[in-house]
Amino acid sequence: MTLRPVSDRSLLVSFGDEISPEAHREVVRLTHALQGVRGILSLHPAFASVLVDFDPRVRDHAEIAAQVRERLDAPAASGAVERRTVEIPVRFGGDDGPDLDDVARHSGLAPERVIERFCAARFEVCFVGFATCFPYLGGLPPELATPRLAAPRKWVPEGSVAIAGRQAGVYPLASPGGWRLIGRTSLRLFDRNGEPPPLLRMDDRAIFVPEGRR
Amino acid sequence: MNRIHVVSPGLLTTVQDLGRFGWAHFGVSASGAADALALRAGNLLVGNAENAAALEMTLLGGAFEFEADAVIALTGSDFGAGLPLWSAVEVRAGETVRCGPTRSGARGYLAVRGGLAVERAMGSASVHVATGVGGRPLQKGDVLPIGEEAVRKPRVGQAAPPLGKRAGALRVTPSAQADWFGDELYRGAYLVTEESDRMGLRLRGAAIPSPAGHMLTEGVPLGAIQAPPDGQPIILFVEHQTTGGYPKPACVISADFWRLGQLRPRDEVRFERVAMERAMELLREQEKWLYGLV
């Protein structure tokens, strides 16, 4: 674990440079443990790090670093935490998933097999970030990994289900984006009146099902 | 209840407070006033808590008619309203405060005694323009209720504007990937481009060589300077994404955030490194100035 000031009001806590289950567990644990600590404004968890934003008028880097160490040294809470599983109905291919054929070609599988394997996978939400409630999903079958588009699209529709390398995700709102679009869901990933607003939250599990076959 | 009628909205006028904190782990950006110092000052001058909701105008201000007597403060840049800036000012019932094009920086603020009593989303009245969280920019005919949340008497007499100048180098401290970069960022001037908005200030100038090395997506702080593959720096601003995968050589210091909010397209920007201790000292001086308004 390393601690590094990355601005005059934030500290980056890193658990290595790789995506791993161990790093993910530490990210989840630290994010929960630092909720509500006085002087901390925001927490930005990611694959293997947590950015801690604090109010520099009441806290400094050393005080925040001490808080982080203290919480990581505390024994992890015992007992299994119940994890939610969210089922996401998807319309695959066609206009809803214009890159499905590219993913199929890249994997050497027929598009139907790509859909089968995608829907057989058990995803987990590594973290939620980017622009408004975007879930970064781990657990993509390795044979479906496909690089990002060379040039990002100017407009990706809301609800697009997408692949980028070994990651999967769902666009909560229409935005520009370079991920490969394989389908679309009508579920609302971002509900501005929701408490909390994202449908998919860090550490949830997610499964995808072809729409109409639930 | 007193209300403000939007006679004309200006180019981009939004309701802002200090932002929506504590939601970054859900991927919700804080938003908040682009020049938070001016917003806080305006609120303190009229006797509000510093986080009260007020109006943020951009480049071209609007016209706002008051139903009943009110006390307001105009802070930030001069939008030619013909009223003293950095001062509590009385407005009479039926009077319209008319702002025009800016005569200095990008943003002007209109704070009103009692605060704007608008609905909050996730604990904040701040409009996140890109996603519509917290509402949308003002339109002609909108009516904004004024609250009764004042906490002290308004300040009498004009106050001094903030310390330091809008122009001049932006001060930075090293950010997460500082070691990957040389000193290219500090050599020349950059221009603020027209594509800049509340999400990011997109600069144009000598490209910063894209460093070798792979990085995982990680959390990004306000004011961070990102170097995307084309080497043209982007300063992450109040509506910035919560996580990102581009390396960051440096981050603008807190005491200079207000200056980011006053940058206009085609303004020139330079960067200057300062020690962390100096950044904190500058912030303390700024806070001292701010509370001198009360």
Which of A8, A43, A190 is the closest to B24 by Cβ? A43
Length of chain B: 294
Q: How many CB pairs under 8 A join A and B?
A: 146
Chain A: closest CA distance from residue B158 (Å): 26
3-state class of B111 per DSSP?
A: strand
Pairing of strands B271-273, B200-204: unpaired
Between chains, do A46 and B217 touch, taking CB under 8 Å as contact? yes
ipTM of the complex: 0.94
Q: Which chain B positions have a beta carbon within 8 Å of A5's beta carbon?
A: 173, 276
The pLDDT, as a whole number, for residue B213 is 66
How would residue B245 be classed by pLDDT, with cut points 50, 70 and 90? confident
The pLDDT, as a whole number, for residue B101 is 98
Q: Give the angle subtended at the CA of A170 by the CAs of A165 and A171, to the nearest 5°.
A: 110
The pLDDT, as a whole number, for residue A176 is 82
- H/E run at residue B170: strand B170-174
Between chains, do B280 and A61 touch, taking CB under 8 Å as contact? no
The pLDDT, as a whole number, for residue B98 is 98
The pLDDT, as a whole number, for residue A109 is 97
Q: Which chain A positions have a beta carbon within 8 Å of B215's beta carbon?
A: 17
> Each residue's pLDDT tens digit in chain A (214 positions)?
999 999 999 999 999 988 888 999 999 999 999 999 999 999 999 999 999 999 999 999 999 999 999 999 988 776 667 889 999 999 999 999 999 999 999 999 999 999 999 999 999 999 999 878 899 999 999 999 998 887 878 899 999 999 998 889 999 999 888 899 999 999 999 887 777 778 899 999 999 999 975 4
The pLDDT, as a whole number, for residue B239 is 95
Q: Please give the Cα distance from B258 to B278 (Å, whole number).
A: 17
Q: Say whether residue B123 is in contact with chain A using an 8 A CB cutoff.
A: no
What's the Cα-to-Cα distance from B285 to each of B49, B119, B255, B271, B279, rounded to whole Å?
20, 34, 9, 20, 10
- H/E run at residue B173: strand B170-174
Query: Token pair for residue B120?
Result: 């909050």
Contact B97, B83 (CB under 8 A): yes
Work out the number of other CB atoms within 10 angstroms of the CB of residue B176. 26
Q: Which chain B positions have a beta carbon within 8 Å of A132's beta carbon?
A: 27-29, 131, 133
Q: 162-181 in B: which are within 8 Å (CB) of A?
A: 173-176
Chain B: closest CA distance from residue A183 (Å): 22
Q: Is A173 left (phi over 0), alpha (psi -120 to 50) or beta?
A: beta
The pLDDT, as a whole number, for residue A2 is 96
Chain B: closest CA distance from residue A129 (Å): 4
Between chains, do B219 and A9 touch, taking CB under 8 Å as contact? no
How would residue B70 be classed by pLDDT, with cut points 50, 70 and 90? very high
pLDDT tens-digit series, residues B178-194: 999 999 999 999 999 99
The pLDDT, as a whole number, for residue A78 is 62
The pLDDT, as a whole number, for residue A213 is 59
> Which of the residues B17, B20, B28, B288 would you substitute to probe the A interface, choosing the one with the greatest number of A C-beta atoms within 10 Å?
B28
Q: Say whether residue B77 is in contact with chain A using an 8 A CB cutoff.
A: no
Which of B27, B218, B221 is the closest to A7 by Cβ? B221
The pLDDT, as a whole number, for residue A214 is 47
Query: Among residues A9, A47, A55, which one has the least CA distance to residue A31?
Result: A47
Work out the number of other CB atoms within 10 angstroms of the CB of residue A209. 13
- The residue with greater pLDDT, A148 or B92, is B92
Give the DSSP letter of residue A172: S
User: Mean pLDDT lowest for which of A72-76, B23-27, B46-50, B257-261?
Assistant: A72-76
Q: 217-236 in B: which are within 8 Å (CB) of A?
A: 217-224
For residues B19-33, give the mean pLDDT.
93
Contact B72, B113 (CB under 8 A): yes
Q: How far apart are the first and last CA of chain B?
A: 26
Q: Please give the Cα distance from B175 to B220 (Å, whole number).
A: 10
Q: Which chain A positions have a beta carbon within 8 Å of B28's beta carbon?
A: 132-133, 197
Between chains, do A57 and B287 touch, taking CB under 8 Å as contact? yes
Which of B26, B132, B248 is the closest to A201 by Cβ? B26
Chain B: closest CA distance from residue A112 (Å): 31
Between chains, do A46 and B254 touch, taking CB under 8 Å as contact? no
Mean pLDDT computed over every residue of chain B: 94
For residues B74-85, give the mean pLDDT.
96
- The residue with greater pLDDT, B211 or B5, is B5
The pLDDT, as a whole number, for residue B212 is 66
Between chains, do A51 and B28 touch, taking CB under 8 Å as contact? no
